[in-house]
Amino acid sequence: MKRPIWSTVITAVVAVSLGAIPAHAAPVSPEKAAPAAADPVDPALEDQVSDGGTVRVNVVTRNRADLPAAARAGKALQTLSTLPVTTLRVDKAGLEKLAGQPGVVSVTEDVAVPPTLNSSVPVIGADKTAAAGNTGAGSAVAILDTGVAVRHPFLRDRISAEACFSTNDTAAGVASLCPNGTEHQEGAGAADVETGACATTRICSHGTHVAGIAAGNGQGVTGAPKAGVAPGADIVAIQVFSRFSSETNCGVGKAPCVKSYSSDQLAGLEKVLQLRQSGVPVVSANMSLGGGQYTAACDTDVRKAVIDSLRTAGVATVIAAGNDAYSNAVGAPGCISSAITVGSTTKDDQLSSFTNRGPLLDVFAPGSSIVSSIPGNAYASYSGTSMATPHVAGAFAVLKQAYPRASVAELEKVLETGGKSISYTGATTPRVQLDLAPRITDFNGDGVEDTVVGDPRATVGGDANAGVVRVIHGGGKGTAEINQDLAAVPEGAEPGDMFGENLAVFDHDRDGCTDLVVGVPAEDVGTQTDAGSAQVFYGAAGGLSTGKAPLDLVQGTGAGSILASAPKAGDRFGHAVAAGHTTGGEPYLVIGVSGEDLGTVSDAGSAHYLRGSVNIAIHQDKTGMSGTAEAGDRFGSSVAASANHIVVGSPGEAIGTLANAGGVQILKHDLSADGIPAPVLGISQDDDFVSGASEAGDQFGASVAAVAYRPSATAAATDTVFAVGSPGEALAVGTTDVTQAGAVQSFRVTGAGAVTQAANFNAEVENVQGAAEAGDKFGQKAVLANLAPRAPGAPTTLVLAVGIPGEDVGTTADAGSVQTFYPFGLPGDTDYWIEAGNASGLGGTPTAGHAIGNHLGATATRLYAGVPGSAPYGAAYDLPWSNATGGRTGTAGSVTTHQPGQNGLPAAGGGFGWSVG
């Protein structure tokens, strides 16, 4: 039979009676069987009418045409405008009639349910998103609660719509809280708690507090919190509570109280749907109420249908989990699978003592001691999952501004994948963190990490070395191939294109699905050989290139500096690519053009920087840049960037008369007066603070890596740690110069622009494993990862991986290896050695010429090592960072091997693993 809908208790724990859970609201086990089609009436109702009494019920019919017949079974109290639901008061005869009435799907009790900031907003990063311009402007948050003080200065001028659905039932001691005393009121003032019945009592303060958390704005308001989560969003205020005067309903000594009938909640949700359909930009509906104990989804709940309709229309229904401290259960309606269910944490990311939690929980948010608005132009501190929930409802408005085309499901994934993990017995649940971009590569937006591997040596349509990119979807959802002979892909496959030579990922269109950048530096443009191109492929629910058309970036086309740059033979546009998001959430793309001629200066090199409307070329002849453009500098051979800074390598830079000594330029995303990313500093090994000295052939800057970093003394990741590889570095071993042994230095650049060296890494540094040998090329490739970008940098969260492709393993020449380090630590104390077949889990055995370490990639969760020389087609290995650090960053996990001919990948290719990520 159908599980009854039980009292939904107010999910606020406050010093007044609102937080009390009535003893009669005991939950029913959610393990009961679903209702039989022949018996739609909840059997528990029969006991309530057996002695001649009556009961309020919600009747759901197959369609609206069945409603009139069903309504004749009792006294009609409410019929919704669009949903096949009517609320009746029935006696025993009426229940019997409904039990046999054709078209009746379910009959359940219309139960009355009670309603269940300053530092919480920075905890979830909403202050940073607001500072970056993402305030929720252009969206509205619906607050289904006890009404709102619509003229409160914290909420002023942003109440865009009001409605009230509140029951009058004199016999039960229930009175409407609509200002005009009726059961239904709409328009200005309909949800105002400072008029009508709410004006003379404090029992209606809950909704004003919730609204302030979601969308309050304290700018210019004396004594107010700074802001709610979405201070630019509008508020739709809907009163769905009624006044109960009986201690039977409220508890001894707690009358009067407020409760909400599920029928009034249904009417309120339907109103939200109608507003959305009429053009009001509602993105979330907040329901800070809930009760019962559900360990499994309660999708027979009468509210499920309208919550589903709202989700389809683009509105997330965000519901409190409840305050019973259940370790594996939540209340109703939060147990509905299509709702977003929210638990509570403290500002120190500890579980609130009262919060429900478990597998049905979607996210956590701060809910302990939250200061927000209350009627009377005042402010107060409340606690409860009621206070956590509007943090998430407001977050949807902020994310909708950042990702305007994203669906509810996509925005939910952004919240979940970008949050901070909170682990507890039996589960791990993310705590919302708005200022973090999603930490995984997820092309189809399903919340499972995907992997992308380039094979530029692959033959396409008979064209040798035309190149392909292969995607391996996480969760066993198959593989996909991108090549230039596909109709949706720009250009066309040609011999030697090497499509897939370079890859980068970011969310360019901010829809919650990762987008892919493919550098094609060997692309011929017209008659200009190796002029190069770059393409952006957009993620979508069906995967890459199943949504909108790719962006094709070719010099001489498009806009800005790319349009102004003519493609020339040997430019190698796309030789290096880097992409990500600034601290303000703006997507950016950096494209290296290593062979660019500047006037008569051949191979001076340049880079193009794209961010929003900015499309600008960077080269060494720009104002503020270090050095000058010279032949063979090959500026742009390597590029890297964090949310704060950009790093560009020019390994061919001559320092004095020392050819190919190399240099690096650091820039900020903020633009200079000349319109380019503002130069910070250029460095080389001739700088006093940099280890070693510039020598011919060092190639300082052949590889660069960068990641945002939070110093312990700051509240945010304002700095950048970057690494510079010099694979040509010669090291003195005794009296012998060991050529091309290689070295890497790590550096820190602060938000203010101060650059310091953090550490020097090479095989001759004390206690570092291995020995310097000619041709090791230590630093040919370097990658950095920050496993917890919000936390202060630490050995458990910051990792530098250095490729050593020329390493001989025993007598096996050029087998290659990788070493990982903490970029701020003593090298010998934190290094870990990775080679084929060792304890790291990297597959295979040391093989001559495999050159492991030449092809590396990294995300915040994994290290990728490509081995394109592995027979017969190449291979790529996917290592959890815990494996790649010898346990320094956590417990070792399983390593995944990707190889053509296995796990859905076609048995074809020529250099699978050349680029990985």
Q: What is the pLDDT of residues 259-283, one digit of tens each?
A: 999 999 999 999 999 999 999 999 9
Strand 340-345 to 316-320 pairing = parallel
Q: What values do phi and psi take at 39, rounded to 5? A: -135, 80
User: Which of 405, 389, 446 is CA-nearest to residue 314?
Assistant: 405
- Asked whether the predicted pLDDT for residue 305 surpasses 90, the reply is yes
Structure tokens belonging to residue 560: 């800005």
- Asked whether the predicted pLDDT for residue 285 surpasses 60, the reply is yes
CA-based radius of gyration for the chain: 31
Q: Following DSSP, what letter does each residue of 302-322 receive, concatenated? A: TTHHHHHHHHHHT-EEEEE--
Q: What values do phi and psi take at 44, rounded to 5? A: -60, -25
Q: What percent of the chain has pLDDT over 70?
A: 92
- Give me the pLDDT at residue 214, please: 97
- Give me the pLDDT at residue 8, please: 39
**780: three-class secondary structure by DSSP:** coil
Residue 541's pLDDT band (cuts 50, 70, 90): confident
CA dihedral 903, 906, 908, 913 (to 10 degrees): -50
- Give me the pLDDT at residue 400, please: 87
**Count of all residues that appear for the chain in the document:** 917
| Residue 890 DSSP class | S
Least confident residue range of 142-151, 630-639, 760-769? 760-769
CA dist 656 and 696 (Å) reads: 10
Residue 128's pLDDT band (cuts 50, 70, 90): low
- Asked whether the predicted pLDDT for residue 14 surpasses 90, the reply is no
Give the CATH H-level superfamily of domain 122-160+188-238+281-431: Peptidase S8/S53 domain (3.40.50.200)
Q: What is the mean pLDDT of residues 122-134?
A: 70
Structure tokens belonging to residue 464: 């040798």
- Asked whether the predicted pLDDT for residue 435 surpasses 70, the reply is no
Give the helix/strand (H/E) hosting 545. Answer: none
User: Which of 223, 230, 217 is CA-nearest to residue 138?
Assistant: 230
CA dist 698 and 740 (Å) reads: 8
Q: What is the pLDDT of residues 586-595, one digit of tens each?
A: 899 999 999 9
**Mean pLDDT estimate for the chain:** 90
CA dist 58 and 301 (Å) reads: 11
| Residue 358 DSSP class | S
Cis, bond preceding 872 (omega within 30 deg of 0): yes
Q: What is the mean pLDDT of residues 860-881?
A: 94
- pTM of the predicted model as reported, rounded to 2 decimal places: 0.67
User: Which of 514, 520, 506, 644 is CA-nearest to residue 578?
Assistant: 506
Position 598, amino acid:
L
Q: What values do phi and psi take at 261, rounded to 5? A: -70, 145
Structure tokens belonging to residue 11: 């999910």
- Asked whether the predicted pLDDT for residue 12 surpasses 70, the reply is no
CA dist 874 and 843 (Å) reads: 12
Q: Are 196 and 176 in contact (CB under 8 A)?
A: no
**875: three-class secondary structure by DSSP:** strand
Q: In what order do the strands lie in the sheet with 55-61?
A: 75-79, 85-90, 55-61, 104-109
Position 443, amino acid:
F
Strand 257-261 to 242-244 pairing = antiparallel
Q: Which residue intervals of the chain bear CATH 3.40.50.200?
A: 122-160+188-238+281-431
- Give me the pLDDT at residue 118, please: 47
The correct CATH number of 9-113 out of 3.10.20.30, 3.30.70.80, 3.40.50.2000, 3.30.465.10 is 3.30.70.80
Q: Is 585 exposed, middle or buried (0-12, 13-18, 19+ CB in 10 A)?
A: buried
Q: What values do phi and psi take at 620, rounded to 5? A: -75, -5
Residue 114's pLDDT band (cuts 50, 70, 90): low
Strands (E), 156-310: 159-165, 174-176, 184-186, 234-239, 242-244, 257-261, 282-287, 289-294
Q: Is 272 exposed, middle or buried (0-12, 13-18, 19+ CB in 10 A)?
A: buried
CA dist 236 and 141 (Å) reads: 6
User: Which of 224, 233, 229, 215 is CA-nearest to residue 127?
Assistant: 229
Cis, bond preceding 256 (omega within 30 deg of 0): yes
Q: Are 901 and 911 in contact (CB under 8 A)?
A: no
- Give me the pLDDT at residue 37, please: 44
Computed from CA positions of residues 430, 435, 439, 440, in that sequence, does the dihedral angle turn out positive or negative? positive
Q: What is the pLDDT of residues 622-669, one digit of tens each?
A: 999 998 999 999 999 999 999 999 999 999 999 999 999 999 999 999
Residue 789's pLDDT band (cuts 50, 70, 90): low
Cα angle value 125/127/129 (rounded, 5°): 75
Q: What is the pLDDT of residues 166-175, one digit of tens each?
A: 999 998 999 9
Computed from CA positions of residues 50, 55, 61, 66, in that sequence, does the dihedral angle turn out positive or negative? positive
Q: In sequence order, which residues have a C-beta less than 8 Å from that of residue 409 and are 6 or more positions away?
A: 311, 445
Residue 535's pLDDT band (cuts 50, 70, 90): very high
CA dihedral 256, 258, 261, 265 (to 10 degrees): 160
- Asked whether the predicted pLDDT for residue 690 surpasses 70, the reply is yes
H helices, E strands: number in the chain: 14, 53
Q: What is the pLDDT of residues 400-427, one digit of tens each?
A: 887 776 789 878 877 886 677 788 888 8
- Give me the pLDDT at residue 116, please: 62
Position 851, amino acid:
A
- Asked whether the predicted pLDDT for residue 725 surpasses 80, the reply is yes
Q: How far is CA 214 from the centre of its chain?
A: 19
Position 594, amino acid:
S
Strand 832-834 to 479-482 pairing = unpaired
- Give me the pLDDT at residue 860, please: 83
- Give me the pLDDT at residue 16, please: 29
Residue 131's pLDDT band (cuts 50, 70, 90): low
Q: What values do phi and psi take at 864, rounded to 5? A: -110, 130
User: Which of 572, 574, 554 is CA-nearest to residue 562?
Assistant: 554
Q: Which residue intervals of the chain bear CATH 3.30.70.80?
A: 9-113
- Give me the pLDDT at residue 43, please: 86
- Asked whether the predicted pLDDT for residue 691 surpasses 90, the reply is yes
Q: Are 623 and 674 in contact (CB under 8 A)?
A: yes
Q: What is the pLDDT of residues 350-407, one digit of tens each?
A: 999 999 999 999 999 999 999 999 999 999 999 999 999 999 999 999 988 877 767 8
Q: How many CA atoms lie within 13 A of 744 on its CB side?
A: 34
Ramachandran bin of 476, using left for φ above 0, alpha for ψ from -120 to 50, beta for the remaining angles: left
Burial 759-781 (b: 16+ CB within 10 A, else e): bebbbbbeebebebbbbbbbbbb
Q: What is the pLDDT of residues 441-493, one digit of tens each?
A: 889 877 678 999 999 999 999 999 999 999 999 888 899 999 999 998 988 99
